[in-house]
Amino acid sequence: MGLHVLKFGGSSVGSLKRIENVADIVAKRAKEHQVVVVLSAMQGETDALIELARHFSQSPDPREMDVLLTTGEQKSVALFSICMLARGLKARTYLGNQIAIRTSREFTRARIEHIDVEGIMKSLNSGEVVVAPGFQGVTNEGDLTTLGRGGSDTTGVALAAALKADVCDIYTDVEGVFTTDPNIEPKAKKLSSITYDEMLELASLGAKVLQTRSVEFAKKYKVPVHVRSTFKDVPGTWVLEESRLMESLVVSGITYTKNEAKVVVEGMPDRVGIAAELFTNIAEAGVGVDVIVQNVSKDGTTDISFTVLRADLRKALEVLEQNKGALKFRQVRGDDRISKISAIGNGMRSHSGVAAKMFKALAKDNINIQMISTSEIKVSCVIDEKYTELAVRVLHDCFGLDKISTKEVDDFR
């Protein structure tokens, strides 16, 4: 008998019928293992609550916002437990303040600081299925908090870590992590396993399967995570330490994001400290920067390009115009019609030539690369947005991802 944490997303509990389906899955698992169930709010619920709050304010008070948003998960755990108990199964809801999941006081984006597991261990040892709401926690002062969008993943993995669980199953509406978005490339294949680092890059570069912070947690505490379908009982994708993987693919996934915009600052004096000054201005305006590229021109001036979230573009341009006098650039322009295409793979650590292969493939289809950014296990290119889908297919094909055949990994439970 092991201890398993099963997390179900909003679409998995999106209707009363689907909640019954989740009860089937949990009941089956609970026959052999101790089970902690973590649930998201029913699909659409959180958005509906945000919509209500927006009626009063575009930036509603964050503390009260968390009081509002936590009702979503509270509702789904109560309904699920009622369903389990009606079937004669033993289940018990523990809210965020009962477990307790202690967080920082950063309302709407709090971070888990400590989890008490004593109470729920007692429940588990008495044969009860513990049902916990995802996404929520409580401050030391007793105020409810939420962990940011997708925070239920983090609740699941953090509980698994605190309980030293054998596995954290992330049940969702897809069958696992794919080599790319199957909506764009129908030949996309499900990966049987990937490393935490690959998953981190995938999550932060546009694959919406897991909240980035949950993967950081999983990596830190070595929690085996199994991303799988709620609706089809087939093996999903294991997210594991590198050492537990049979083999690493050179490239295991192609991702894209369309939520960024490019800022180009042209004709700045090429002197020491100018970049620091520019990005200090940007940072002080609360705008995050992703890719940065600098070119030095012949005439003693320099051009700096960087990407920001599309929602921040206007703010970034305003800040720069305000500081034009100090920065002494010729002109600044923004472009919100870009996308970022990335190839990710743990095998890049030991294989060279991935970037070159990628650039060549894009060039062959006349896709111009505007910016490049690389890490140990990924290469990202900023391109014109209109080529996004084409680029995804070209790269998927170029790295042979439609032909991969990875062995199904052993069950790590």
Least Å distance, CB 8 to its own copies, is: 16
> Does the N-terminal peptide bond of residue 355 adopt cis geometry, omega within 30 degrees of 0?
no
Cis peptide before 162 (omega within 30 of 0): no
363 touches its own copies (CB under 8 A): no
Distance CA 93, CA 161 (A): 19
Residue 289: helix, strand or coil by DSSP?
strand
Q: Which of residues 274-333 bind its own copies (CB under 8 A)?
A: none
Return the number of other C-beta atoms located less than 10 Å from residue 82's C-beta. Answer: 14
Report the distance separating Cα 193 and Cα 198, nearest Å: 10
d(CA 116, CA 162): 8
Q: 131 vs 225, which CB is nearer to its own copies?
A: 131
- Residues 15-44 binding its own copies (CB under 8 A) are 16, 19-20
Structure tokens at 27: 């009941």
Binding mask 214-243 for its own copies (x = CB under 8 A): ------------------------------
121 is a contact residue toward its own copies (CB under 8 A): no
Q: Does 126 bind its own copies (CB under 8 A)?
A: no
- Residues that bind its own copies (rule: CB under 8 A) add up to a total of 36
Give min distance, CB of 72 to its own copies, in A.
8
List 31, 118, 125, 142, residue binding its own copies (CB under 8 A) = 142
Residue 407 lies near its own copies (rule: CB under 8 A): no
Residue 65, interface with its own copies (CB under 8 A)? Answer: yes
Give the strand pairing for 369-375 and 378-384.
antiparallel
Contact letters for its own copies, residues 84-103 (x by CB under 8 A): -xx-----xx-x-xx-----
Q: How far is the CB of 164 from its own copies (least distance, A)?
A: 24
Quick one: 152 or 179, whose CB is closer to its own copies? 152
Q: How far is the CB of 123 from its own copies (least distance, A)?
A: 12
Q: Least distance from C-beta 114 to its own copies, angstroms? A: 17
How many residues appear in the chain? 413
Complete DSSP assignment for 322-373: HTHHHH--SEEEEE--EEEEEEE-GGGGT---HHHHHHHHHHHTT--EEEEE
Smallest separation, CB 165 to its own copies (Å): 24
**Cβ contact 159:5 at 8 Å:** yes
Measured from the CB of residue 318, what is the shortest distance to its own copies in angstroms? 25
By the rule CB under 8 A, 74 interacts with its own copies: yes
Compute the least distance from the CB of residue 73 to its own copies, in Å: 9
In three-state secondary structure terms, 238 is strand
**Which listed range, 79-87, 102-110, 121-129, 246-254, lies at the site for its own copies (CB under 8 A)?**
79-87
Query: H-helix or E-strand containing 162?
Result: helix 151-162
Place of tokens 């309904």: 79
Q: Which is nearer to its own copies, 31 or 55 (CB)?
A: 55
Among 46, 81, 136, 195, binds its own copies (CB under 8 A): 81
Among 3, 104, 121, 143, binds its own copies (CB under 8 A): 143
Which C-beta is closer to its own copies: that of 64 or that of 270? 64
| Look-up of token digits 């995570």 | 225
- Yes or no: say if 340 and 382 are a contact pair by the CB < 8 Å rule: yes
Under rule CB under 8 A, residue 390 binds its own copies: no
What is the DSSP code string of 16-67? HHHHHHHHHHHHHHHTTSEEEEEE-PPTTHHHHHHHHHHTT-SS--HHHHHH
Query: Is the CB of 54 or the CB of 220 nearer to its own copies?
Result: 54
Q: How many helices and strands in the chain, by DSSP H and E?
A: 13, 20
Phi, psi angle pair for 256, to nearest 5°: -145, 150
State the residues that interact with its own copies by CB under 8 A.
16, 19-20, 49, 52-53, 55-57, 60-61, 63-65, 67-68, 70-71, 74-75, 77-79, 81-83, 85-86, 92-93, 95, 97-98, 142-144
